[in-house]
Structures are given as C-alpha cells and as structure tokens.
Amino acid sequence: MERVVKFLKDAETYYLATVEGDQPRVRPFGTANVFEGKLYIQTGKVKDVSKQIHANPKVEICAFKNGEWLRVAGTLVEDERIEPKKAMLDAYPSLQSMYSAEDSNTEVFYFKDATATFSSFTKEPETVKF
C-alpha cells in the first residue's frame, strides 16, 4: 500500500469517481494519508461527493504520473474519530484554514477491500490488494 500512497502523493492530483444513481461523477482530489495502516481520504460533509459516498460507498480513483496510471477501486468507510481527521489535517496544513478535526463538516474515509492496479503502455498491469 505504501507504493499506492507514494504514487498518489507524487502525482499530487487524482480523480475520484462516485456514482449518483446511474450517473458517474468525477472530480479532482488530493488528500491521501496513511493512518493505522489504512489509506484515508478527506472531504466535507456539505459536498455532493460526500452525499454520494454515503449513498453508495463504492468508488474508484485514478491518478497519472510519468507514463503510468494507477486505479484504486474499493469501498470507503467513514471514520468519525478525531485522531484520523487530525492526522489528515497535520499532513495537509493548507486545509487547516478551511477544516478542523472538531468541526461538523470535516470527514475522512478509509479504503476497504481495495484493489489497486498500476498500468502503463509498456508493462503488464500490476495489482495490489489492501
């Protein structure tokens, strides 16, 4: 999983796909943090993306860097504890002007049953499960 997190951080931006009914939705995301051995992402409860995840937690993300792309498909699980929120905001100090671990908006999710696939035009895909 460390390789997955490093790829996401090096790419800086990944695209998070959710579903809303039968309509895919996708947007840029950047947060990725390992806490207690799990890959967490962060959002705000006021956002449509949050509402979509709560309605259907199956998501996929995609990032591209140096001719290689990574897809991570899995199920997001909300973690309401302060500690993973604080760890996330410590990892992304720029978010601290908009979010705090104690506010009613900040939320973090970790990936469960995730399948990460590294692909390129020159090599066979490699799959990692975590």
Minimum CB–partner distance for residue 83 and ligand FMN (Å):
19
Minimum CB–partner distance for residue 88 and ligand FMN (Å):
9
Minimum CB–partner distance for residue 3 and ligand FMN (Å):
20
Minimum CB–partner distance for residue 124 and ligand FMN (Å):
30
Single-letter residue type at 122: T
Residue pair 41/76 in contact by the 8 Å Cβ criterion: yes
- Name which of 14 and 71 has its Cβ closer to ligand FMN: 14
Instruction: For 52-118, give the DSSP string.
Output: HHHH--EEEEEEEETTEEEEEEEEEEEE--HHHHHHHHHH-GGGGGT--TTSSSEEEEEEEEEEEEE
β-partners of residue 33 are 40
- Name which of 66 and 94 has its Cβ closer to ligand FMN: 94
Across 35-53, b (16+ Cβ under 10 Å) vs e yields beebbbbbbeeeeebbebb
- Name which of 99 and 122 has its Cβ closer to ligand FMN: 99
- Name which of 97 and 122 has its Cβ closer to ligand FMN: 97
Could you say which residues in the range 11-50 bind ligand FMN, by CB under 6 A?
A: 13, 25, 27-31, 42-44, 47-49
Footprint of ligand FMN on this chain (CB under 6 A)?
Answer: 13, 25, 27-31, 42-44, 47-49
